[in-house]
Structure 1
Amino acid sequence: MAKSGKTGNVIDLRTLRGSAGAMSDNELLDQVEEAADDHDGCECSDCGGDVLSFPPVELLPDDRLAAMVPQVPLVRDVRRLAEWTGTRSLTVEGLLEQADVDQAAADLGIAPDRVRLLWVVAVNTGLVQITRDGAAPGRGLPDETLEFWDGVIMDVLDRAEDELTGSPVVDEHLAEMLATMYAMTDGITVPALAEGMLQAHEIGCGAGPEEMRELRERLPGDLAAAVELLEYCGLFERHGGDGTVDAVRLTPLGVWAVRQDLLREGHDAPLLADVAHFAELTAAELIEAMLSGEAPASAAGVWVERRTPEDAARELIKVAAGGTAGHRGVIGTILEELGPEAEPAVREALAEPMMWRHAAVWLGVRDLDAPSLTDADNVWLAVDTLATLLHLGDVSEALGEFDSLESGEELLRLVDDMAACDHPDTLAVLELLAEHHPDPAVGKAARKAVMKVRSR
């Protein structure tokens, strides 16, 4: 989210959905594909983090959303606190005196820790005005209700840096949790959300066994309290019919607010109306639109939903088999999201010279019967993946994002192995490395490999 900067590591949706993990076991390919995905459709010159793609959403009309804002418990209590405060002296930090906090909690029936959150929101949204003499009544609820709501949620998320939920781990991963909820529109059970957060903390924060044991005992209770707070803030709602199902999802106002923050961060979070027409394109038209930047990455999800997994895979593979490395790079990210139902079409791709290695990897990571890949096959895949750079606008900038291309013996061996690779883009990839890689040693090795290829 924009205020906490944590959406670079959204809780793994594959884990939450019980599907497969990364596409390839080869570390080099994983990192290269990750970097290529990060640049897909990103036009900013100083992109400082991952550009994530989220499923398209359908928002309620603005007037209906605006009518919901005053009904949010947090907003209702912020307005009550502002009316209660009237004209009052404050601490040097511009906060209510502790006695006033306690009195407000008693008079309004609000927990003291929530009074502090309400005070921050009341001041920042202008419902309470701070003067040299203390607090004074501010403006009422503004006409720009959704703009007001956006400010409320930014204030709430800012508090994640200062013990919003009372759990350091939940606060640390709050933005990831909200982004995950946004991507899973049907909602998720709290235990599944806790499991995803545990994995994110273990991997992203390097938590050790002892910390994880303690966290597994404590997190379910902490997360339940956090969910209750986020319901109070108008972001979460329970669902499941009779209310006994321990599952939550974003409210309509929550979807609107989280999307606003994702857009501020530069992520791809389109409206359904913006991408619905891409579902009618052929596979070839879709991929060309994505390569040109006309279609965001999220358009692929809408396109796939209109087809069975097998039919979608078959159409995509046909384009990839006769296309460029750029086509295969985009298509590969779409195929990653397809489950075992696409197996028949992917298995047919084993007969395609330009796709069989990719198909073997796809099958293998899903524990399906697949041909074994040799070292030479892995080099071919590395060349094919690097060749996606040939279809990006700023090659130098994109190349710098490939952590796996950092200088070292492993990269030098790969460059040397590329000289013997029969990939049609081998020469172009080596020339790219020779011209753009910042390490002189890598550039020199690439130039030598270029001469070997040309001598053939």
Structure 2
Amino acid sequence: ALGLRPAEVRAHWDAARLAGLVETHGGHARPGWRLRAWDRDDMAVLRGWVALFDAWSLFHPAHAESATPIDPTAVAEVVEAMPQLLSVLQLSAGTAPREELLDLLEQRITELRDARCELPAPGLAAPSTAPLPELFDWALDRLAGVGALTLPQGAGGEIALTPLGSWAVWVKLEQICVAAQSPAGNIEQSAEDMLRGCVRLRPGEARAEYRAWIAARTVGTAVQELLDAARGDDALLRQLAFEALRAVGAPAEPGVREVSADLPLRPYALLWLAEQEGGDAEDAHALLTREESTWLWIDTAAALNDHGDTELLVRHIEAAHQPTIPALLEEVRSAGHPLTVQVLLALAAAHPDPALAKAVRRAAFQVHTGG
């Protein structure tokens, strides 16, 4: 119906998948989050193109049409070196001769090998692998295939960045600058260590740290690390991880949606998704069942206790959905949260009302003994 060859259909499908327009799960496909924003959000379109730009080397693998055996290490070296060449193009008014860029590529790969303390092979290619010029042409062709470059027609022409290519390189350079401005110096830490480093920061400082940490990674890697940190036993890290995911924004939606069935993360994921869809915070809580709301109440109390904020911990009782303290304690006892006893003991120790503190301690004892 489209008048396309099968190979062209596969290429367009791959482009749509890499740009986040479609998602595949097992043997099924469904609209991606970016497709839902495509007609109303210009930035979603540009971010989708940058995602495709980031995946240029996957769009058409180097081994797909080569008659010469391809060494994966050689391909990886070219992929790692190309960002510097694109930066050179950006700084040289967007154009440069092919031979000049090929020389720069050879220099960059030599630097990469020197950094790994490897002896350079003659001509930068072993006899059993494709020569560097062939891999360079593959890289240029793939970058042109995603719309980042225009290639010369015939010999002697210059390679040029397209307006989209120039914009994407500028975005990447901006991300490097953001990462370099990490206020607390946590950008090279794991997600868990970065979040722990943000515990004592003011909200604005923490958000700047989240953005710098995210900018130093691919979005997929950053989202997965944050979700892995949220899965642990530390309630405070769980809350901070979802705060950091707010700094990621819409690109984190597929990952958050995947964990929305897991109880430790489900209440946070549902509220996060509702916020992304523009829902009101109060209305979003209606998406949770009573059991999920109680579980989230305990988890938040555990985070406040970990943070050492006893005043907010006491005030947290007022945020419960249950109308009375006995009703709250009844539901807390049956919630099955692993930190229930610690939360109740912390509440009892912090609350100024002796009668209420006694009731809370009794509830903690009952949970501890299985009553």
Q: Does TM, normalized by the shorter one, top 0.5?
A: no
Scaled by the length of structure 2, what TM-score is found? 0.43
Scaled by the length of structure 1, what TM-score is found? 0.36
Q: Which has the higher contact order (CA 8 A, sep 6+)?
A: 1
